[in-house]
Every structure is written in C-alpha cells, then in structure tokens.
Amino acid sequence: MSESNAVPLSILIPTKNEERNIVACIESVSWADEIIVFDSYSDDNTLQLAQSLGAKIVQRRFDNFSTHKNWAMANIQFKHKWLLIVDADERITDELREEIRQLFMQQPDCKGYYIARKNYFWNTWVKHGGRFPDWQLRLLQVGYGHYEQRIVHEHMLLNGKAGFLKHPLINYDYKGIDRYFDRQNTYASMEAVEVFNMLYGTSDAQQIKPTLFAKGPARNRFLKNIAYRYLPFRPLIKFIWMYFIKLGFLDGKIGFRYSVLQMFYEYQVSLKLEELQDPDSPITKKYQAYLQPTIQQPTKKG
C-alpha cells in the first residue's frame, strides 16, 4: 500500500519467538502507516522477518503482561494518535480493516473500541462454548488507556467512552499441542496468583470493575469472581457450562476437546491456588513478587 493510502494508525505487536506467525500478522496490518514490533528479545527469526517487512523494532525484557504492555504505551513515541494492539497470532480481516478505515474517515466519538475475537483451536473456529464474541479493547486513542494491574488475562482500562466494532479479528495460533499445554500451565499459575490475591488480598489493585450487566470483560470477570468465591466443583461446572449450556457440542469433536481442556485448566488453577496457601511452596516462592504485600495468609486446616 502506498503511503498516501495508508491509514493514519500505529500498530503495536508484542512478540517473543513468533517467526511462525509474524509475517501473516504484519501482512494483515500492512495498510496502517506505522507498524511497531515490541519484542522480548526473540532468539529465532522474528526480528529479521519483521524488519524485512518494514516494521520498526522496540525491545524490552518481559516481566508480566500488563506491566510490559503498559511500558510500551507509556514510552514508545507513536507516530499517530490512534493505536491498534495486535498479538502476533492474530489477523485483521479485510472487513475489519475497512470498518476501521471508515471510522477514521469520520470523527470517532469514542476514545477506544472493543473488537471481538474469533478464536481458532486445531485449525477450527470455536464458535460456541461461550468463546465468541471474545471482546477485547484493542483500538484506542494514545494516552487514554492502560492495562489493569494483572499479570495474566489483563484488560484495558479506558479513560473515556468505549464503542464496539462490528467485525471481528482472527486469533489463530497453531504451534502444536505441546506449546498449548506449556502455555496453559504457565497461564494457570499466574491465574492462580490473581485468584489468590482476589480472595485473600486487602490492597486495592487497579483492575477492571466486575459488573454483571456490562458487556464483555467486566461481565466475565464478575462471573469468574463469583465462581471462585462460592462454587464447588468449578472444573466440572466449567465443562457443563461450555459444552452444554453454551452449546459447545455444536462445534463437534473440537468443541468437546476444547471444553475438556478448559475444564482441566480450571482444575490446574484450583490445585495451584491450594498450593499457594503454603508460604514455602515452590509456586509461592516463584511468584512472591506478584502476591500482594497485604495478603492475609489463610489459616491451614487440620
């Protein structure tokens, strides 16, 4: 695309060893005037591929998801006042591109916009099971948003009115089931830390406000908090919710596999949450820096 036709928009793509995904990702946003790859010192061909496609490179050591991306939004000098954050395993569709282009031809009346994600698993769109639409606030005016203080599954806090775009982006990452298990194991540990802080912490971390009647992440956070506070047998309930109530069975074999794996993920979180109650456990020592300093350690039973 010629510079005269480029959309006046900056793109931020966080990366770490994404040589499998980075080319398709950058090509899907090549219509934007500025593309920045925010890299955590990849040791594969991610940077070479990104630079060959004209992307700018900024590097920083990764610590956790929210702090890392907040640093980028606060310290990178973006060329344009509007920013679109895209993960390396995500793709912007032609329909979404045109919707954003039309939005910028007018005067946007919001400071940020939620975009739905179409999540793929095993080369298949997981349409049911409560996985679509998966609303994420990704398009925002620079200086009007930052990520909540959460080390995983973090959401954007927007200082201003938010809107919702009609067309989704594609979340497609096929790096094999080994990578999937490794990532889910790490995510489960970090999620257990966040649940532990929610249950036993007394500090006021800046996070998204859980609200039952909101649309998107705020409602999901409300239901998750209720589940961890009051529901027994959460892994089983998660499977029933996804596979039967949210019609995951309509996705066939993939729907069953995905629902089972999400049930196992919840079981991992539960086990890790129990282990965190031991101040001498390996997981407690590993994530000590992220446990709130005002934690009231639960009393052990027995």
Residue 176 pLDDT? 87
Residue 180 pLDDT? 93
- Given pLDDT bands bounded at 50, 70 and 90, which one contains residue 203? low
**Would residue 299 count as lying in a domain?**
no
Residue 279 pLDDT? 93
Q: What is the mean pLDDT of residues 206-230?
A: 87
Whether residues 117 and 183 fall in one domain: no
Whether residues 148 and 189 fall in one domain: no
Cα separation, 137 vs 157, in Å, equals 9
Residue 2 pLDDT? 47
- Given pLDDT bands bounded at 50, 70 and 90, which one contains residue 297? low
* Secondary structure (DSSP) of the chain: --GGGSEEEEEEEEESS-TTTHHHHHHHTTTEEEEEEEES--SSSHHHHHHHTT-EEEE-----HHHHHHHHHHHS--SSSEEEE--TTEE--HHHHHHHHHHHHS---SSEEEE-EEEEETTEE--STT-SS--EEEEEETTSEEE-S-SSS--EEESS-EEE-SSPEEE---S-HHHHHHHHHHHHHHHHHHHHHHHH--S----PPP-TTSSSHHHHHHHHHHHHHH-SSHHHHHHIIIIIIT-GGGGHHHHHHHHHHHHHHHHHHHHHHHHTTSTTSHHHHHTGGGS-TT--PPPPP-
Q: Which of 121, 156, 171 is the last residue of a domain?
A: 171
Whether residues 123 and 262 fall in one domain: no
Whether residues 158 and 215 fall in one domain: no
CATH of the domain at 61: 3.90.550.10
Q: Is residue 285 classed exposed, middle or buried when 0-12, 13-18 and 19+ CB atoms within 10 A define those classes? A: exposed
User: How do residues 244-281 score in pLDDT, each as one tens digit?
Assistant: 999 999 999 999 999 999 999 999 999 999 999 999 99
Whether residues 154 and 189 fall in one domain: no
- Given pLDDT bands bounded at 50, 70 and 90, which one contains residue 205? low
- Looking at per-residue pLDDT, the higher value among 176 and 11 belongs to 11
Q: What is the mean pLDDT of residues 19-39?
A: 98
User: How do residues 130-180 score in pLDDT, each as one tens digit?
Assistant: 999 999 999 999 999 999 999 999 999 999 999 999 999 999 987 889 999
**Assessment of whether the complete model's pTM goes beyond 0.85:** yes
- Nearest-5° angle of CA 136, CA 142, CA 143? 105
On the question of pLDDT at 300 being above 60, the answer is no
**Would residue 75 count as lying in a domain?**
yes
- Given pLDDT bands bounded at 50, 70 and 90, which one contains residue 301? very low
Work out the percent of the chain whose per-residue pLDDT is above 90: 82
**Would residue 196 count as lying in a domain?**
yes
User: How do residues 43-61 score in pLDDT, each as one tens digit?
Assistant: 999 999 999 999 999 999 9
On the question of pLDDT at 299 being above 60, the answer is no
Work out the percent of the chain whose per-residue pLDDT is above 70: 94
**Would residue 73 count as lying in a domain?**
yes
**Would residue 147 count as lying in a domain?**
yes
> Range of 263's domain?
177-290
On the question of pLDDT at 107 being above 80, the answer is yes
Q: Total domain count for the chain?
A: 2
On the question of pLDDT at 91 being above 60, the answer is yes
**Would residue 298 count as lying in a domain?**
no
What does the mean pLDDT of the chain come to?
Answer: 93
**Would residue 300 count as lying in a domain?**
no
As given in the structure block, the two tokens for residue 72 are 């980028």
Cα separation, 249 vs 234, in Å, equals 19
User: How do residues 111-135 score in pLDDT, each as one tens digit?
Assistant: 999 999 999 999 999 999 999 999 9
- Nearest-5° angle of CA 45, CA 29, CA 124? 80
Whether residues 117 and 191 fall in one domain: no
- Given pLDDT bands bounded at 50, 70 and 90, which one contains residue 298? low
